[in-house]
């Protein structure tokens, strides 16, 4: 813990941490030592980690990357935080992210951009960019992230680490500051599938405080890593695994270096015994407009709670109550958040609801059905995580649509509520990391982690 606190301090220029608390971390580390001395064992006992600043924490400030929550202190810990602390993990601090998790490059944080440790002139991806950089730069061995439309998978891909977005409902959303509640899902970001399996096992489980929490038994994902497949051999641990390649995930516009690294990874999986089959997700492109209607619609509703009264920022000067709401929100929210509140309010408004929101909901169902058609032909789906490697800081800041388009390969699984993971597939141009995405059917995280572990 001391070693990592020093590393965090020495790497402030990366912008990964919004706060690090030495005293709190050392107290937790001492408590873990005492548990170990009393005979307790556990893979996570005493292991340091840091949380994306979208999870509320009782002992550390929580901002969600927004000025709106500057100075906010939660009276309780998110369920995820509680579970990981309960397993004996040591919280080093809170990690930078896009404001309210809205973004793909971590440049929408109200506090600072985060730098990609592979090339500090590039983005680490977003919105869990602080988590990705912290793990990739070896500031912590593990971090939590959240993924609404790709925010665990894409930054994992851009920084060469492993991350998994579980099935919607697998991990409790209680205490996770809501962006788009029907999509938000927390997951681990770490160096390997093995580490992710250990973390996911501790994080997940039914929570009565989250109305969409799934009634699933506690699962030992670490055991799934090496559980032998029927017919598998030592040389071919993935024998019998059918990997579907959707044609739409390999379009002309896919960057050649990303395509090359992903194809090489697929060839490796074939050597391990997997068979590759062609499948189709015909509505892949539509997932962009569908997501960018549904997510802002839900965000506009969720963010109405930030009114200058209950949490965080309140304008210093105002004429009356309505003026206080307006000024507090105008000052507290950044541009991207305001853009989404406006889009969301528009698509939900009378006269537009049927034309936009309802159509998007219908397409969302069809996108989920397309996946089920694929899963009749294969066990997992594979493809790139993002169409390019990490872009340069500043390159897309003036063009929100360019950011949205870069989410094309992560949005489909989010809309369907399916588990998806990113694992390092190799390197593209300029040595930048490229991620391979694996998508599984509902509650098949074990299959994804098993395949990723065999590959790693």
**What's the rounded Cα separation, in Å, for the pair 168 and 213?**
8
Report, in Å, the least distance between residue 208 CB and ligand GLN. Answer: 25
Q: Is 151 considered catalytic here?
A: yes
Report, in Å, the least distance between residue 26 CB and ligand GLN. Answer: 32
Report, in Å, the least distance between residue 327 CB and ligand GLN. Answer: 26
Lay out the site mask for ligand GLN across 113-132 (x = CB under 6 A, - = otherwise): --------------x-----
Lay out the site mask for ligand GLN across 389-428 (x = CB under 6 A, - = otherwise): ------------------x---------------------
**What's the rounded Cα separation, in Å, for the pair 269 and 356?**
41
Asked if 132 and 189 count as a contact pair (C-beta separation under 8 A), the reply is yes
Asked if 99 and 64 count as a contact pair (C-beta separation under 8 A), the reply is yes
| DSSP, res 69 | G
Of 85, 128, 131, 151, the active-site residue reads 151
Among 146-154, 170-178, 355-363, 386-394, the segment contacting ligand GLN (CB under 6 A): 146-154
**What's the rounded Cα separation, in Å, for the pair 316 and 288?**
39
Q: Would you say 407 or 445 has its CB closer to ligand GLN?
A: 407
| DSSP, res 450 | H
Written as one string, the DSSP assignment of 405-426 is: HTTTTTHHHHHHT--EEEEEEE
List the interface residues with ligand GLN, window 270-329 (CB under 6 A): 295
* Closest residue by Cα to residue 93 from 148, 16, 11, 157: 16
List the interface residues with ligand GLN, window 12-71 (CB under 6 A): none
From candidates 93, 124, 149, 246, binder to ligand GLN by CB under 6 A: 149
From candidates 148, 157, 328, 441, binder to ligand GLN by CB under 6 A: 148
Written as one string, the DSSP assignment of 1-31 is: -HHHHHHHHHTGGG--EEEE-HHHHHHHHHH
The number of C-alpha atoms within 13 Å of 10 and in the hemisphere containing its C-beta is: 9
Q: What is the distance in angstroms between the CA of the first residue and the CA of the last residue of the chain?
A: 27
Q: Is 52 considered catalytic here?
A: yes
Among 98-106, 110-118, 198-206, 383-391, the segment contacting ligand GLN (CB under 6 A): 98-106
**What's the rounded Cα separation, in Å, for the pair 434 and 79?**
32
- Nearest residue to ligand GLN, by Cβ distance, number only: 151
Lay out the site mask for ligand GLN across 172-191 (x = CB under 6 A, - = otherwise): -------x------------
Report, in Å, the least distance between residue 147 CB and ligand GLN. Answer: 5
- 106 contact partners, CB below 8 Å, separation of at least 6: 96, 97, 98, 113, 114, 123, 124, 125, 126, 127, 129, 130, 155
Q: Would you say 149 or 166 has its CB closer to ligand GLN?
A: 149
Report, in Å, the least distance between residue 348 CB and ligand GLN. Answer: 17
Among 7-15, 58-66, 143-151, 421-429, the segment contacting ligand GLN (CB under 6 A): 143-151
Task: Estimate to the nearest angstrom the gap between the alpha carbon of 325 and the chain centroid.
Answer: 31
Q: Is 362 considered catalytic here?
A: no
- Binding flag, residue 147, ligand GLN (CB under 6 A): yes
| DSSP, res 101 | G
Of 66, 85, 127, 414, the active-site residue reads 127
Binding residues for ligand GLN, rule: CB under 6 A, are: 101-104, 127, 147-151, 179, 295, 407
Residues assigned a catalytic role: 52, 127, 151
């Amino acid at each position: 813990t001391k070693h990592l606190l020093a590393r965090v301090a020495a790497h402030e220029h990366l912008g990964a941490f919004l706060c690090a608390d030495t005293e709190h971390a050392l107290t937790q580390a001492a408590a873990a030592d005492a548990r170990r001395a009393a005979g307790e064992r556990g893979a996570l006992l005493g292991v340091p980690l840091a949380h994306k600043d979208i999870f509320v924490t009782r002992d550390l400030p929580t901002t969600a990357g927004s000025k709106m929550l500057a100075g906010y202190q939660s009276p309780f810990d998110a369920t995820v935080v509680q579970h990981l602390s309960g397993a004996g993990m040591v919280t080093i601090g809170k990690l930078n992210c896009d404001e309210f998790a809205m973004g793909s490059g971590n440049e929408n944080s109200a506090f600072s951009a985060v730098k990609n440790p592979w090339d500090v002139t590039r983005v680490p991806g977003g919105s869990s960019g602080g988590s990705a950089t912290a793990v990739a730069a070896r500031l912590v061995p593990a971090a939590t992230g959240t993924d609404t439309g790709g925010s665990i998978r894409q930054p994992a891909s851009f920084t060469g680490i492993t991350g998994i977005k579980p099935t919607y409902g697998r991990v409790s959303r209680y205490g996770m500051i809501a962006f788009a509640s029907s999509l938000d899902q927390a997951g681990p970001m770490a160096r390997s599938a093995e580490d992710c399996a250990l973390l996911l096992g501790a994080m997940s489980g039914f929570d009565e405080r989250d109305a969409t929490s799934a009634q699933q038994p506690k699962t030992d994902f670490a055991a799934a890593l090496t559980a032998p497949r029927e017919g598998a051999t030592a040389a071919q641990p993935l024998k019998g695994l059918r990997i579907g390649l959707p044609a739409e995930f390999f379009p002309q516009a896919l960057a050649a270096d990303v395509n090359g690294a992903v194809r090489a990874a697929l060839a490796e999986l074939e050597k391990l015994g997997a068979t590759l089959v062609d499948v189709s997700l015909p509505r892949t492109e539509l997932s962009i407009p569908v997501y960018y209607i549904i997510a802002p619609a839900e965000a506009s509703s969720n963010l109405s709670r930030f009114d200058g009264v209950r949490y965080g920022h309140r304008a210093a000067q105002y004429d009356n109550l309505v003026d206080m709401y307006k000024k507090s929100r105008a000052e507290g929210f950044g541009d991207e958040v305001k853009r989404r509140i406006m889009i969301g309010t528009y698509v939900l408004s009378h006269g537009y609801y049927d034309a936009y929101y309802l159509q998007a909901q219908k397409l969302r169902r069809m996108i989920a059905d397309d996946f089920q058609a694929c899963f009749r032909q294969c066990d997992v789906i594979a493809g790139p995580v993002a169409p390019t490697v990490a872009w340069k800081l500043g390159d897309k800041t003036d063009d929100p649509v360019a950011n949205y388009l870069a989410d094309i390969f992560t949005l489909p699984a989010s809309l369907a509520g399916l588990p998806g993971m990113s694992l390092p597939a190799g390197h593209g141009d300029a040595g930048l990391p490229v991620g391979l995405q694996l998508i599984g059917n509902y509650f098949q995280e074990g299959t994804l982690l098993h395949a990723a572990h065999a590959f790693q």
